[in-house]
Amino acid sequence: MFTYIDPAVRQKLEEQGKLFQIDRDGHRVAAVNAGTRGSISILGPIPMPLKLCEQRVDVAWYACVRHTELSKIEEIADELRQQNGQAAFATLASSMAVNSVLLIGDPRHWENPLVRVHSSCMTGDVFGSERCECGPQVQSALNLIKHDEQGGMVIYMSGHEGRGIGLWAKAATYLLQDAGEDTYEANRSLGLPDDSRDFSDAASLLKYFVGDEPFRLLTNNPKKVSDLADMGLHEITRVKHVTGVSEKNRRYLDAKRAWGHDLSPEDIGSG
Ligand SMILES: [Zn+2]
């Protein structure tokens, strides 16, 4: 039977502890029990040297995907193979939301690590768009964690483009914004929620990597803290994370501030 990862390779990785499963509460579970709702399959650590604006950061990368989603992809991939449909495989696999953990330091020594839960943003993170401040935020987070005594991690949420509406709809919201709507109004005009991001996978990964220790969270969004608290993570100290403010994104940041983000007029230079 075709599997996304060849069974022999899979077994070897499992024996090495580099492919494993955690449940919703962040506990390791045996592969045979991984079918339980919401469990996450994790591949890693994979050593990854990063170069960000002349700064070097060595991280351990973990690729994380919902077990149910992975199983579904494997099943369909098997069907496709039987129908000689390999060409469709890339499309199939690329739609799978694989989150990443970029870990710096040794979790065994963490008492209060520094964490950023970052929502993927193709335009900001990859293209360097100044319509938002996502690119500078993720780079600055890695830099701060690198220089932090405790270290910590960035959880990069791949399915969070445009606060959960996806890249296609986000492109449409940009056109609506250029016609005068703010970032939240534009979502509503498309009949989409203001914010449909789901942080439950981030919560499970935090429970696994940070455990019961308190941690500091780099964010200006109090809702992110309350969402994580609703999922059982209570010892969070929010650390303000203002960076990448420019003339080009001031209006966007103003809308975020009006929506509840902890940004003062001084922070965004409009005071
Ligand atoms: Zn962005």
| Cα–ligand 1 centroid distance for 133 (angstroms) | 6
Mean pLDDT of 188-197: 87
| Terminal Cα distance for the chain, rounded | 63
Which range among 67-76, 81-90, 146-155, 213-222 shows the weakest confidence by mean pLDDT?
81-90
Instruction: With a cut of 70, say whether residue 71 has pLDDT above it.
Output: yes
Over residues 93-99, mean pLDDT: 79
Q: Is the pLDDT of residue 17 over 90?
A: yes
According to the model, what pLDDT value does residue 137 have? Answer: 95
- pLDDT band at residue 224 under the 50/70/90 scheme: very high
Q: Quick check: 243 and 136 in contact, CB under 8 A?
A: yes
* DSSP secondary structure letter of residue 197: -
C-alpha span between 243 and 144 (Å, rounded):
12
CA of 210 to the centre of ligand 1 (A): 26
Q: What is the pLDDT of residue 95?
A: 67
Mean pLDDT score, 220-244: 94
The pLDDT score that the predictor gives to residue 92 is 67
**pLDDT, averaged across the chain:** 89
- Taking the centre of ligand 1 as the mean of its atom positions, its distance from the CA of residue 125, in whole angstroms, is 7
Annotated catalytic residues are: 195, 197
Q: What stretches of the chain show up as alpha helix (H) in DSSP?
A: 7-15, 67-82, 89-94, 134-147, 161-164, 167-178, 183-189, 200-209, 222-230, 250-259
Q: Would the pLDDT of 4 be above 80?
A: no
- Confidence band, pLDDT 50/70/90 cuts, at residue 2: very low
pLDDT of 75 reads: 77
Predicted local confidence at residue 86, as pLDDT = 66
For 172-190, what is each residue's pLDDT tens digit? 999 999 999 988 889 888 8
Residue 85 CA, ligand 1 centroid: distance in Å: 35
